[in-house]
Chains A and B, each alone.
Chain A
Amino acid sequence: MKITQQTTAHTLTLSLDGELDASSSVILDTELTKPEILNYQKVLIDCQRLNYISSAGLGVFISHLQRFQDANVKLVFFNMQEKVHNVFEILGLDTLMTIVPSESEATAI
């Protein structure tokens, strides 16, 4: 799992590369736990290279969902692969989280 960061004035983009399983989700959790992340208006997650997400990986996003909402930070997923999207959908997360097809749509929100 490789996570690359890209920042603009109000937006932080995290690109996930690889498989998000029990061990790699710890890295992601460390990234999302950083207090300065709440200074952004939007946190975009680029899922283009995310091949697999386990329940531990989903758990990381779920555990930060409320915190982001309370701080008024928008969490947006884009470029999600079909099978990963399916996992989000089965769990019902697509109704709670913003998942859009492309980066331009993500920035437009």
Chain B
Amino acid sequence: MPSSQRLTATLLPLTLISWVVLLVSTLLRASQPETASLSAPPEWVILVAQAVFAAGVFMYYRLQPDPLRGTDFVGLFRRLVLGPGILASICVALHLLERFVQYQLPSSDRTFFAVIYTINLGLFILFLASTTYTWRSLVLFRSSGRLRREWEFFEILLGGTLLFRLLGWELPTPVSLLVIGGLAIFGVYLSGNQKWVAYLNRRQKWEVVFMQLAILLCMTIFVAYFVRIQYDPKLIAPESQHAFLLLTVFFAAFYAVMGLFVTFFNLPTAGVFEQKREEILSLQRLTQLIQRGQTEEDVYSMLFDATVQTVEADAAWLDVEASDEMYKGQRYHITEEQCTAIRGLLADYNLGHIEYLNNDLPNSSGFRSLGLPFGSLIVMPLRSTKRQYGALYMLKNQPQGFDRENLGILQTFTSQTILSIENLQLVAASIQNERVQEELKIASTVQESLIPKDLPIDNWFEISSHAMAAKEVGGDFYDFLHLPGQRLAILIGDVSGKGITAAFHMAQMKGIFHALMQENPLARNEREKFPVPSKFMAMANKALVHCLEKSSFITASLYIIDYENRGFVFARAGHCHTLYYHSIKEEVSYFRTAGLGLGIIRHDAYEKHIKNQFYDYNPGDVMVIYTDGIVEARGANKEEYGEDRLQQMLERTYYLEADEIKNMILEDLAEFSRGQPMHDDQTLLVIKFRASQPEPIV
């Protein structure tokens, strides 16, 4: 605050000047009889100088920042003792010097005496001011606004007493007694605020007791000095500010004495406070350990050490029920045999896994028979709502060793520990999860490579494809294979379910496709060199029987297109119907053929459920093959995209190129399912047969 800084800046010179004025006028008065050249200053000058000095010093200390830093009470006291302690020593030294001088040169030199007196008075006021404002920090430590207002009122009243002597008010004795007594009672009332003592530990309390004694000693030295010289004939100064100084001394001393007693009588309870503090610190340490991501073992040993220390157990052990971990718990001042014996006894009484406190073990016949030296036992299970993690056993030699509070502490500790253990497990789980995600990503890349990148190119057809998985890996697949004699095999399919399992079966299906579509060298004629689609499906079904789980199945369609014969043959194994544009009839329709999915029946009877369909195509015909992710895509009102809408799309786009037809369908689909989650893989292939190209001249 700049205003208070300015005030401080003016206070210092003012105080110094008033002290110099005080010194000079006292000296003038002292040397009056010898030198009459200068007239003695009137008494009021001295009184005003005294009052201004006292007020200045007190104001200066008042404006200093709060000397208390945090809860460093010992530091506060140390600074207070060192400052005024030195002042008191100077006072004593000056007094002794004066006595010495008087003894060596017996004279009635008042000048020297007056100088010493004035210096000591200044020191005393400094000491009082610094003590008073240190006490203010302590009184107002974590105080309410009301107490702050009361303190300010007290300051104003004290300041008011300065005017008593200054204005020469001669109050009748009972009135002045009443006023001074009232203020003293106010000071006593304020001295009741000793909240800070509770924040000290045992060692600090001892330190503070000694420092309070030191402060009282300093005060005694000053008071003794002033009392001693009060009736000295050489004292020519007028009586100092009695009411003000008396009240301040009284308050400073009373607060110190009160504080001394409060601290002293709080010494026995310091242990309890320290125990509580230790508990909180242990709890804090436990919490910090977790945040540093330590192992479960660390957390358990931390709990064990903290509890043994806090409840002051004579022996203890910890059982941890871990399924796979090496750590099984630990022991303290007890052998494994003894643990086993106590565990067995508790199990007999069915007490092994509940919270249990027995303070009178010697009276239990079962325990007596074990012949162990323990008198008290606590069993504290470590459990969360989900599972039991183990149990903590604390033992003490004497009976009645534990109380309800110990039980409470153990509860807090164990629940904190369980929390951290579960946190650690969560972290481990999330790391595991991350690894799975990483592996899924790899699986996704591998699967990507299984989908043909280069579409077959020839001058008699156009082909365009689209594939998108709903999750990282999917169950949709398609593949192409060029067969000799300008023939093309196209496979499309869908594995039931999604995710990794589906992806595995999809890879398997691709393997089966490439294995079965090999030229058979034993074939008797051209037709038998490659399996017809229905035969392929029957063989694939047989191959899948061994690896497909019971509730899984695969739908697939295999097309073999023959350019030379201008026709194709296909078989549908439970897969979506083929959408077709017939250019001759100028009509779009589905090939609605029968056919059972793969893996549904797992014996030779499957062959009866699959048929071949032959068709002679014409240039300009369009074939749309897809998976159910397309027709079952959901719109805003949960409606499915459906075969009809797909058919209508082809009716509108059949004349375009394959690529454009695919894009138009996908755009329409995206429009339809805008804002809806994709819940199944989507695959779409568009094949357009071209008008025959002129044969190159051979």
Contact = CB atoms under 8 A, between A and B. Distances in A.
Which among A22, A92, A96 has the highest number of chain B CB atoms within 10 Å?
A: A92
B493 interface: no
Given A56-B497, A58-B496, A92 B551 contact: no
Interface string B533-576: 00000000000000000111101000000000000000001111
B597 A91 contact: yes
Contacts, number: 59
B596 A59 contact: no
Contact of A92 (B494, B550, B595): B595
Contact of A60 (B551, B601, B628, B640): B551
Interface string A42-61: 00000000000001101110
Contact of A91 (B551, B555, B640): B555
B600 interface: yes
A62 interface: yes
| Secondary structure dominating the interface of A | helix
Interface residues of B, number: 23
A90 B496 contact: no
Given A59-B497, A92-B609, 13 more contacts: A22-B497, A55-B553, A58-B553, A59-B553, A62-B550, A62-B600, A65-B600, A90-B555, A92-B573, A92-B600, A95-B594, A95-B596, A96-B609
Nearest to B576: A90
B497 A92 contact: no
B597 A59 contact: no
A29 B550 CA distance: 12
A2 interface: no
Contacts of A92: 573-574, 594-597, 600, 609
Given A56-B497, A59-B496, A90 B601 contact: no
Given A95-B596, A96-B600, A56 B496 contact: yes
A55 B497 contact: yes
Nearest to A22: B497
Interface of A: 22, 29, 55-56, 58-60, 62-63, 65-66, 83, 90-93, 95-96
A1 B403 CA distance: 55
Contacts of B601: 65-66, 96
Contact of A95 (B553, B555, B609, B628): B609
B552 A91 contact: no
30 contacts: A22-B497, A29-B551, A55-B628, A56-B496, A56-B497, A56-B551, A58-B496, A59-B496, A59-B552, A59-B553, A60-B551, A62-B550, A62-B600, A63-B550, A65-B601, A66-B601, A83-B640, A90-B574, A90-B577, A91-B555, A91-B574, A91-B596, A91-B600, A92-B594, A92-B600, A92-B609, A93-B574, A93-B597, A96-B600, A96-B609
Nearest to A94: B594
Nearest to B575: A90
A66 B609 CA distance: 16
Contacts of A62: 550-551, 553, 600
B556 to A, nearest CB: 11
A63 B551 CA distance: 5
Interface in B616-664: 628, 640
Contacts of A91: 553, 555, 574, 596-597, 600
Contacts of B573: 92
Contacts of B574: 90-93
Contact of A55 (B496, B596, B609, B640): B496
A65 B594 CA distance: 20
A92 B605 CA distance: 14
A94 to B, nearest CB: 9
Main secondary structure of the interface of B (DSSP, over half): loop
A96 B605 CA distance: 11
Residue among A58, A59, A91, A96 with most chain B CB within 10 A: A91
B600 A93 contact: yes
Contacts of A22: 497
Interface in B573-606: 573-577, 594-597, 600-602
Contacts of A63: 550-551
A92 B571 CA distance: 12
Contacts of B597: 91-93
Contacts of B550: 62-63
B537 to A, nearest CB: 11
Interface string B491-510: 00010110000000000000
A17 B601 CA distance: 27
A54 to B, nearest CB: 8
A83 B594 CA distance: 17
Contacts of B628: 55
Contacts of B600: 62, 65, 91-93, 96
A58 B497 CA distance: 11
A29 B551 CA distance: 10
Pairs of residues from A and B, 3 with the lowest C-beta to C-beta distance, nearest first: A92-B596, A59-B551, A55-B496
Contacts of B494: 55
Nearest to A61: B551
Contacts of A93: 574, 596-597, 600
B551 A96 contact: no
A56 B550 CA distance: 11
A92 B576 CA distance: 11
Which of A22, A60, A63, A65 has the most chain B CB within a 10 Å cutoff?
A63
Nearest to A67: B550
Interface in B141-182: none
A92 B595 CA distance: 5
A75 to B, nearest CB: 14
A58 B553 CA distance: 9
Contacts of A65: 600-601
A96 B596 CA distance: 9
A106 B602 CA distance: 27
Nearest to A62: B600
B98 to A, nearest CB: 101
Contacts of B553: 55, 58-59, 62, 91
Contacts of B609: 92, 95-96
A66 B603 CA distance: 11
A95 B597 CA distance: 11
A29 B549 CA distance: 14
Contacts of A56: 496-497, 551
B501 to A, nearest CB: 11
B237 to A, nearest CB: 100
A96 B609 CA distance: 9
B602 to A, nearest CB: 8
A3 B262 CA distance: 75
Nearest to A25: B551
A91 B555 CA distance: 7
A41 B368 CA distance: 67
A22 B594 CA distance: 26
Nearest to A51: B638
